[in-house]
Chains A and B, each alone.
Chain A
Amino acid sequence: MIESLLPQASSYAHRIDNLFSLIFWVVGFWFVLSEAVFFWLIFRFRKRDGVRAQYITGELKSEKKWITYPHLLVLVCDIFIIYGAITVWYQIKQDLPPAQQTIRVIGQQWAWTFVDPGPDGKLDTPDDIAKVNELHVQVDRLYHFTLESKDVLHSFSVPVFRLKQDVIPGRVITGWFTPTKTGEYDIQCVEICGIGHGLMGARIHVETQEQHAAWVAQNSPVSVAAASAPPAAQE
């Protein structure tokens, strides 16, 4: 359902969307059923002249089963949902597949800095490419990102990847994604971080291998003699 609003552009986006659909149908069934029963009861037992309400305590077993069985069924549904939720969570957040490339993401009031390791594939070397509010990644490549904050809490979110992780000052948080669809997408900050929170958007460019190589070659700062200080976040 979400995919109709927003493309799936990472290797795990469909998992979250499927989980959403699972919960939607399970929960939707219960919701429609209870509302239907609810409105039917209101209609069926509306006040009519000469008809007195029944005296039902609900303490008898034969009466109570009408709420006991549904509630056991809810428990069964819960188990399915828990299973689905934990599986997806494990795959995305707990499990960290080996990286093909590591990038660094630095949040500050109110901009993102993205550090690409450059041609040598290693961070903290002179050929790192630091870009503000602009992230270039290569499609079908497993990226690790390390999140750092210079001041307050931020949250790194790429909706098309279904990716979200808070950025905490004083901590370096690692996560991963594999882009699967080329294009240019939004990056958001979803944790309030002050006055400029609403402006703290960035763009992610998912590129093919050739495009990405060209971008790296074009932007690598070694030739620009920026080798003196590795960028940012060395506090």
Chain B
Amino acid sequence: MAESIQAHPHPHGGPHAHEEPGFFRKYFYSTDHKIIAMQYLFTGMAMALVAGFMSYAFRMQLAFPGMHVPLYGLVTPNRYNTLVTNHGAIMVFWVAMPVLLAGFANYLIPLMIGCDDMVFPKLNRLSYQIFFLSVLVLIASFVVPGGGFGGAWTSYPPLSSRGSFSLTPLGASMWLVAVALEFVAFLMGGINFVTTAMNSRAPGMRMYDVPIVVWMIVVASILFMASVGPLIAGAIMLFMDQNVGTAFFDPTRGGDPILWQHLFWFFGHPEVYVVLLPAIGITAEIITVFSRKKLFAYKTVLYTVFGTGVLSFTVWAHHQFIAGIDPRMANVFTITTLLISIPIAEMMFVYIATLYGGSITLATPMLWALAFIAEFLIGGVTGIFLGASGADIYFHDTYFVLAHFHYTFYPIAIIGTFAGVTYWFPKMFGRMMNDTLGKIHFWGTIIPFNFIFIPLFIFGMGGGHRRIYDFTNFPELVPLQKYNVIATCGLLVMLVFQPIFLFNFFRSLFRGPKAEKNPWKANTLEWTAESPPPHGNWPELPTVYRGPYEYSVPGRELDYWPQNAPN
């Protein structure tokens, strides 16, 4: 796949090249938004397997210290650090971002707002190519001399800025380059998403006729563009520190390591919402379709999104409460952090209220969407403990934090993705997935998931702290080791169920029953195109007459009312 970046045309294009581009051109060098979406989706899913395998290796070590992990080997301290660092970084930057933001945004925006492609198809292709390059750099960083970077995904200097501290000089620099390339790719992508969504809506589609998921992706892209700048500046500075010998973050020569933390978290916190919003948007689409209900208070949802977006820029230092920042600042950030619970809580209330009076079918996508709400609520409420500065003194950098953000990121990156993939699979590939296998996979994922992280909450409350490769070195934590064992067993069970999804996915891809245009009887525009939509999406671009959530309108025979139906 590496050659796909090269610009040479496919050698076997042959005489048919005009109507049907060759395999290479069609799948690796296409400017079609759907193909690019697939590239992002598949790359992201492949990276999820990599990061999932990493979590398997270090969870085994944590439950059974010193064991020879099957398929991996001994988890030494530096390997452990590399594993946790890259597990975190991959899951955030190379799974959640490409799948939820780039993958679904690329696929859905043009289809949902009724146009033929992104406004800048070539920029879109370049965005994926740079992203792919960043994947290659990241993978290469694992095998360079010294090994992969092991200074946590936050990459705090001076540990990350000096090879003599981290002992991975090359790995650290390459990791940083990979992250920076990834940011450049998503800046290009973000500009494309926002511009497309703002400018290219179908005729007749007013602002409040845009599906929530598109709004969410647009706001997420804006958050990303507005927050990533300081971190790009910081990454340049850190790279210079590593390789040129400057001292931006080196306290012994006049720099300041806390500055990096601010630069990082100014991006790092909005980043949570960058990946949360698309997932929450996907949920909105699914629960309205499968409960046959209009979304409760569409405009309120938008206001909560804007509120969340703006507030998310004012809360970042809650990651640094005990990091040596001015203690008085912590009070300000406690207030803003707890205030952000209000729009998010309201968004959850809206979704719960949407179910009222519905006619709920528990198909696989709906199960995932409902699980997203149920599980994300746990992540949301446990965040209050950490945003409250007084309690964070104790909880900072414990497994409580870890369990908390896994209860947010897991619903986002994994549950949200499964919800989206199972829901749009018929549109993406023109075939239906198997519902029974989907449900087995669902229960086999959700139940073990809770068995992984609820014990870790308790482990964190008992003082278990993060990024330790062997807790038996700490006498107080030895009695709590049982929670680690439970968590690891949960993980193993969950991993066992994942091949079911892969089997279902690939079998349905080739053998699944053919999908009609609109198998879920949904309103939004993508369901009026062929399944899968051809290049250009529609023979004639649609015109829009109404909002996206007009389900069960009284007086109509059908309980749905497509956006493009004149009456």
Interfacial residues, chain A to chain B (CB-CB below 8 A): 1-2, 5-6, 15-16, 19-20, 23-24, 27-28, 30-31, 34-35, 37-39, 41-42, 45-48, 51-59, 63-64, 66-67, 70-71, 74-75, 78, 81-82, 84-90, 92-94, 109, 151-153, 155, 157, 159-160, 162-166, 168-171, 173, 185-186, 188, 190-199, 201, 235
Contacts and interface: CB of A to CB of B under 8 A. Distances in A.
B461 A58 contact: no
Contacts of A159: 394, 462-463, 476
A37 B352 contact: yes
B72 interface: no
B203 interface: no
Given A52-B552, A58-B353, A89-B327, A188 B293 contact: no
Contacts of A157: 397, 465
A186 B476 contact: yes
B231 to A, nearest CB: 18
Given A55-B552, A75-B342, A168-B251, A93 B330 contact: yes
A235 B253 CA distance: 12
Given A55-B552, A190-B466, A165 B360 contact: no
Contacts of A166: 322-324
Given A67-B353, A190-B397, A195 B384 contact: no
B158 A151 contact: yes
Contacts of B151: 192, 194
B489 interface: no
A219 B467 CA distance: 34
Query: Is the contact region of chain B dominated by helix, strand, or loop, or is it mixed?
Result: helix
Given A191-B397, A194-B81, 11 more contacts: A23-B385, A35-B374, A37-B352, A38-B370, A41-B352, A42-B362, A42-B370, A52-B552, A74-B345, A82-B335, A93-B393
A31 B378 CA distance: 7
Nearest to B166: A194
Interface stretch (B23-31, B296-304, B447-455): B296-304
Interface in B315-352: 321-324, 327-328, 330-331, 334-335, 338-339, 341-342, 345-346, 348-350, 352
Given A16-B391, A109-B165, A51 B359 contact: yes
Cβ-closest 4 pairs across A and B? A170-B251, A88-B390, A159-B463, A85-B388
B559 interface: yes
Contacts of B251: 168-171
Contacts of A201: 473-474
B328 A94 contact: yes
B408 to A, nearest CB: 14
Contacts of A93: 322, 327, 330, 389, 393
Contacts of A19: 388, 390-391
Counting chain B CB atoms within 10 Å of each CB, the highest count among A42, A90, A173 belongs to: A42
B427 interface: no
B77 A196 contact: yes
A30 B341 CA distance: 12
B491 interface: no
B331 A89 contact: yes
Nearest to B340: A78
Nearest to B150: A195
Contacts of B328: 94
Interface in B368-424: 370, 373-374, 377-378, 381-382, 384-385, 387-391, 393-394, 396-398
12 contacts: A19-B390, A31-B377, A45-B357, A58-B295, A58-B354, A71-B346, A88-B393, A89-B389, A153-B323, A160-B463, A192-B152, A198-B80
Contact of B257 (A42, A52, A82, A168): A168
A196 B322 CA distance: 22
A84 B463 contact: no
Contacts of A5: 458, 461-463, 480
B68 to A, nearest CB: 18
B385 A47 contact: no
Contacts of A63: 296-297
A186 B381 CA distance: 29
A4 to B, nearest CB: 9
Contacts of B461: 1-2, 5-6
A197 B297 contact: no
Nearest to A90: B331
Contacts of B293: 53-54, 56
B300 A193 contact: no
Given A89-B389, A194-B167, A34 B394 contact: no
Contacts of B324: 165-166, 168, 171, 173
Given A86-B331, A151-B165, A168-B257, A53 B81 contact: no
B294 interface: yes
Contacts of B342: 71, 74-75, 78
Contact of A34 (B352, B388, B480): B352
B288 to A, nearest CB: 10
A38 B257 contact: no
Given A30-B381, A54-B552, A94-B328, A16 B360 contact: no
